[in-house]
Amino acid sequence: MGGRNRSSRNVLVVPQAKQALEQIKFEAAQELGVQIPQDGYYGNIATRDAGSLGGYITRRLVQLAEQQLSGANRQF
């Protein structure tokens, strides 16, 4: 398990969402001042930074889901 990239085991329920998720990740990293590794390996990122990044992404996804459920993003 050591240095393996574990993200390959993650499967998106909606594969078309991959680009949007990547965008949220980069926005979060930029806002938090966390450098996204070019090779995709997060093992060298400080635990605190990784936790902050994950927390930010989770909050943003919840916010988007709440907006969608409330109808705030509906276009007629």
Triad 68, 72, 74: Cα angle to 5°:
80
pLDDT top residue among 1 and 59: 59
DSSP state, 73?
A: T
Q: How confident is the model at residue 14 (pLDDT cuts 50, 70, 90)?
A: confident
H or E segment to which residue 57 belongs: helix 47-70
pLDDT tens for each residue of 44-71: 889 999 999 999 999 999 999 999 898 8
pLDDT digits (tens, 9 = 90+) for 17-49: 888 988 999 999 999 999 888 888 888 889 999
Task: Scan for tokens 């909050």, then name that residue.
Answer: 59
